[in-house]
Chains A and B, each alone.
Chain A
Amino acid sequence: MNLGRVAAVSFKEWREVTRDRMFLLLAFCMPAVWMFVFGYGLVLDVENISFVVVDRDHSSLSRDYLYRFYQSRYFSFQGELTGEGKADAWLQSGKARAVIILPEKFQERLLSGQPAKVQTLIDGTFPLRADITKGYVIAINNAFNMDLLADHLGRTRGLSHDEAIRRTRPLGLEVRYLYNEEVRSAWSTVPALIMFSLMVSSPLLTALGLVREKETGSIYNIYSATVSRMEFLVGKLVPYVMISAVNAMVLWLMAVFLFAVPFKGNLLLFFATSVLFVLTSTGIGLVVSLLVSTQQAALIITVVVSTVPTILFSGLIVPVSSLSQAAQFQAHLFPGMYYTNIVRGTFLKNVGPAVLWPDVLALAIYAAVLGTIGYRLFTKRPSV
């Protein structure tokens, strides 16, 4: 491999990139814009669940109960219905995600020491939202029950208020959150967004740059030139790897300074693995670009191959452990998952190579395999 020729190819590619001002601008802006939009916009705490109530009792206790929903930031009250019949339309139109129905004699039954059934209708079209809504309803019911029980014990057994409360809470749960002690949504999404931005932008840059030569025919200059396959591929990739490596640094700066996510780990490890990751993601672009002949196909295939698994199977939101077998298999086939472990590990957990080596190794193997495939696929003597 002649380094001079590699440099020449790189220089040519770099000039091509810089000459196209809009491409250059987008190459650097895209990851930063995404980080900005998703860092602030991709909030994962489900709040403001719209609900309506049907209160058939209209007693002080029923108002007491509903007040807990009105006050909760998780729920947003939309109005009171006169009958259950109208609940349908509210749920169907999506104006309400839940309907709470209090029965007649709600207060009477509870004060006389009997249970009362509260019905909640939940819109199940979005299972995640339905599940979270159900969880909130159960939590509010449980808290209300504890208070009811304490009151009841106080009245029937003549216990003091404190003693009654103590009796109704025989077992407590002390939860300690680790790594993200205040459970901030941004702390868990922002590091993963570094992965997302790099994984989605760099294959596209590479693939488009390579197929362009094929589509416009300028690749024939390369075919007939003395430059070898290896020299051409390396030279061609260098500018794109550099762009993405710079982007990785910018994203890191944004995470630490703009979003104030603590970086607890080893900076050198982070950057070294980021470069490795960028190599794998550009490698994906390389392989795609060698398999197709039009930029349109390169564009769509790269977007689908890089975006979809990155959103779904890389641990960005849904942890890999809760995927099905087939999806877990797919998750392991893409480099995003390994880098997510590394990013979250170095940002939040302060773990080093001792823990992260399997992920680093996986990325290295990935890069090597993609490089080999790319080298094999690229030929200076195409059959057509």
Chain B
Amino acid sequence: MRASDRLTVWCRRIAVMTRKELLQLFRDVPLMGFLIYSFTLSVYVTGNGIQTQLKNAGLLVSDADRSVSSRELISRFHPPYFRFDGELTHPNEGFLRLDRGSSMMVLDIPSRFHEALAAGEPTAVQLLVDTTNSPQGLSAAGYAARIVGQFSQELIMTRNGQTGSSSTTVPMILSDHRVWFNQDQNETWFESISHLLRMVTIFAVLLPAAALVREKERGTVEQLLVSPLTPAQIMLPKVVAMTLVILGATAVALFGVMLPVFGVPIRGSIALLFCLTAVFIVATAGIGVFASTVTKNQAQVGMMTLLVVAPMLLLSGIFTPLETMPAWVRYLMALSPLRYFIEIATGILLKGIGLEMLWSQALSMVALGGSLFGFGMWRFRRQFE
């Protein structure tokens, strides 16, 4: 047989097997329904719903002064960051409300607050913060410090006989910060992108893992093994079929929800994005393939993959910034394709950069996927011996 013939046969076998995998997938109605839900409604609710910045932090006020100054200070704790939950009539009520978790903090303004400020005596207000959720608590305290700082600065200005317009005669740094790539700090963009990646990861690991083990569990893999198919021809079509399905779902999420509803920009090359998404899906599927060769049944492979997927989802930098992680987690996450792909996805979509800046991330994904597949292929034959 000539080389070209062999190639046609090889391709035809892959095509036939891919078709078989696609048929098998599409026949599973609940699964397909769920796939559609995950890439449409779920992306919408999450993109719209998650707000990581401080929002609606419930504030209770105990105002012992009831003066112009105290009211002025309270009015600065405003939405969307804070939610005014009312005034306390009894001091103990504050603790009770915090215990119940219906409010997050209590601002305590002392009596003679206005007098002290007017007389130039230093005074202080107290803030009780619920830190059962520590980042939120810290963030709320930080905002409060900013508000009180601003309030003091204005006091100093007026006290030194200067009104707003002549503040130019005071030495101070004017903070001029610009947020790039997402000027309005629109959270829907990042949250919808990260949710899409979350879904792609889950499906890319679990679908091929379960499909491969199922053949093993039911014994149909024996039929495939005695056929002229090589291990690569058995494994590749599964991954190709799943990749096609997930890529299609990604396109639906991107063009059906994220672009029209959230206005996520595509500043870079859309073709590059889809190429690298395919690389990402294949690399991530490598984890599933690998897991499928060390397990015997679907229950095992399910547990095994979830054991790995949960840390990937939480620690790859799509949930909290990678900078926050301890060094060992950052080293561990070098093994997670998602850690590279989040940079690629936000880079292409939001920053508009191309391969010239993303080559190292792309290469890492290729290397990871390649070694996982290589190992899976090697194990595939051996596992039956």
Flag if B30 contacts A173 (CB, 8 Å): no
Q: Which of A86-143 contact B (CB under 8 A)?
A: 89, 91-94, 97, 109-132, 134-135, 137-139, 141-142
Which of A229-237, A269-277, A288-296, A362-370 makes up part of the contact surface? A288-296
Nearest-neighbor residue (CB-CB) of A192 within chain B: B133
For A294, list chain B residues within 8 Å (CB): 28, 31, 214
Most buried by A among B83, B132, B142: B132
B364 at the interface (CB under 8 A from A): no
CB distance from B184 to the nearest CB of A (A): 9
- Beta-carbon contact of A123 and B180 below 8 Å: yes
CA distance A116 to B131 in the complex (A): 37
Judging by beta carbons under 8 Å apart, are A311 and B326 in contact? Answer: no
Whether A170 pairs with B202 at a CB distance below 8 angstroms is no
Partner of A135, one of B142, B198, B295: B142
CA distance A97 to B131 in the complex (A): 27
The CA-CA distance from A185 to B233 in the complex, in Å, is: 49
Question: Could you tell me if B313 and A307 are in contact, using CB atoms closer than 8 angstroms?
Answer: yes
For the complex, give the distance between the alpha carbons of A179 and B172 in Å. 38
Across the interface, A125 reaches (CB within 8 A) one of B57, B130, B152, B346, namely B346
Q: Which residues of chain A from 11 to 62 have any CB-CB distance to chain B below 8 Å in the complex?
A: 20, 22-23, 26-27, 29-30, 33-34, 37-38, 40-50
Q: How far is the CA of A109 from the CA of B168 in the complex (A)?
A: 10
Neighbouring A residues of B130 by C-beta, 8 Å? 178-179
Q: Which residues of B contact A200 (CB under 8 A)?
A: 306, 310
Residue of A nearest to B209 (CB): A299
Cross-chain contact of A312 among B50, B306, B309 (Cβ < 8 A): B50
Check A118–B151 contact: CB distance below 8 A.
Answer: no
B299 touches A209 (CB 8 A): yes
B86 within 8 A of partner (CB): no
A296-B299 contact in complex given A118-B174, A184-B134, A322-B56, C-beta closer than 8 Å: no
Bound-complex Cα distance A323 to B303 (A): 30
B182, B211, B299: the one contacting A127 at CB < 8 Å is: B182
The smallest beta-carbon distance between B21 and chain A, in angstroms, is 12
B141 touches which of A89, A119, A169, A175 (Cβ 8 Å): A175
- Of the residues A175, A204, A321, A323, contact of B127 by C-beta under 8 Å: A175
Chain B residues with CB under 8 Å of A173's CB are 124-127, 144-145, 148
Chain B contacts of A315 at CB under 8 A? 133
Bound-state Cα–Cα, A175 to B143, Å: 12
Are A93 and B353 interface neighbours, CB within 8 A? yes
- Provided the pairs A124-B183, A176-B128 are in contact, do residues A292 and B30 lie with their beta carbons within 8 angstroms? yes
How many A-B contacts at CB < 8 Å in the complex? 415
Asked whether A38 and B326 contact (CB < 8 A) given A110-B171, A173-B125, the answer is no
- Which of chain B's residues have a CB closer than 8 A to the CB of A65? 173
B324 touches which of A45, A113, A167 (Cβ 8 Å):
A45
Inter-chain contacts of B135 with A (CB < 8 A): 44-45, 185, 188, 317
Stretch at the interface among A219-227, A244-252, A343-351, A375-383: A343-351
A129–B317 alpha-carbon span in the complex (Å):
11
A3 at the interface (CB under 8 A from B): no
Give the distance in Å from the alpha carbon of A177 to the alpha carbon of B98 in the complex: 11
- Point out which of B42, B178, B320 has the most chain A C-beta atoms below 10 A from its C-beta: B320
Range of interface residues on B (Cβ < 8 Å): 35 or more
Stretch at the interface among B5-13, B115-123, B254-262, B279-287: B115-123
Q: Determine whether B235 belongs to the interface, using a CB cutoff of 8 Å to chain A.
A: no
Assess the A118–B314 pair: CB atoms within 8 A.
Answer: no
- Among B185-193, B222-230, B270-278, B373-381, the one that faces the other chain is B185-193
Per-residue CB contact flags for chain B residues 306-327 toward chain A (1 = under 8 Å, else 0) read 1101110111000111011110
Beta-carbon nearest neighbor of A74 in chain B: B323
Are A130 and B179 in contact (CB-based, < 8 A)? Answer: yes
Contact A178 B128 (CB under 8 A): yes
A328 to B50, CA, bound (A): 10
B49 near A: Cβ within 8 Å? yes
In chain B, positions 50-100 with a C-beta closer than 8 Å to chain A are: 50-58, 83, 98-100
Q: Are the CB atoms of A145 and B51 closer together than 8 Å?
A: no
Q: Please give, as numbers and ranges, the residues of chain A lying within 8 Å of B83 by CB-CB distance.
A: 321
CB-defined contacts of B343 to chain A, threshold 8 Å: 94
Q: A307 → chain B, closest Cβ, in Å?
A: 7
A122's contact among B42, B50, B177, B189, by CB below 8 Å, is which? B177
* A115 contacts B46, C-beta separation under 8 Å: no
Contact A38 B144 (CB under 8 A): no
* B298 CB contact (under 8 Å) in A93, A124, A208: A208
- Contact of B117 with A170 in the complex, beta carbons under 8 Å: yes
Q: Check if A324 sits within 8 Å of B48, measured CB to CB.
A: yes
Judged by a CB distance under 8 angstroms, whether B385 is at the interface is no
Closest to B194 in A: A126
What residue in chain B is nearest A351 (Cβ atoms)? Answer: B99
Task: Flag if B46 contacts A327 (CB, 8 Å).
Answer: yes
B46 & A312 in contact (Cβ 8 Å cutoff): yes
Q: Give every chain B residue within 8 A of A187 (Cβ-Cβ).
A: 134
Quick one: CB contact mask for A304-323 with B, threshold 8 Å, 1 for yes? 10011001110101110111
Q: Is there an interface contact between A130 and B54, defined as CB atoms closer than 8 Å? A: no
B357 CB within 8 Å of chain A? yes
Q: Would A131 and B300 count as touching, CB distance under 8 A?
A: no
Contact between A311 and B146, CB atoms less than 8 A apart: no
Beta-carbon contacts of A152-173 to B below 8 Å, as 1s and 0s?
Answer: 1100000000000011111111
Contact B185 A127 (CB under 8 A): yes
- In the assembled complex, B26 has its CB within 8 A of some CB on chain A: no
Distance, CA A112 to CA B170, complexed state (A): 9
A43 touches B324 (CB 8 A): yes
In the assembled complex, which residues on chain A have CB atoms less than 8 Å from the CB atom of B20?
A: none
- B49 CB contact (under 8 Å) in A20, A38, A137, A323: A323
Determine the chain A residues whose CB is within 8 A of the CB of B309 once the complex forms: 303, 307
> If A93-B353, A141-B173, A149-B172 touch, does A326 touch B45 (CB 8 Å cutoff)?
yes
Q: Can you sample 29 A-B contacts with CB below 8 Å? A: A20-B300, A23-B299, A23-B303, A48-B323, A48-B324, A93-B353, A94-B347, A110-B172, A115-B172, A123-B179, A134-B179, A135-B146, A151-B171, A169-B122, A171-B123, A172-B148, A173-B126, A177-B141, A205-B303, A294-B28, A294-B214, A297-B30, A300-B206, A307-B313, A308-B46, A312-B195, A322-B56, A324-B48, A330-B45
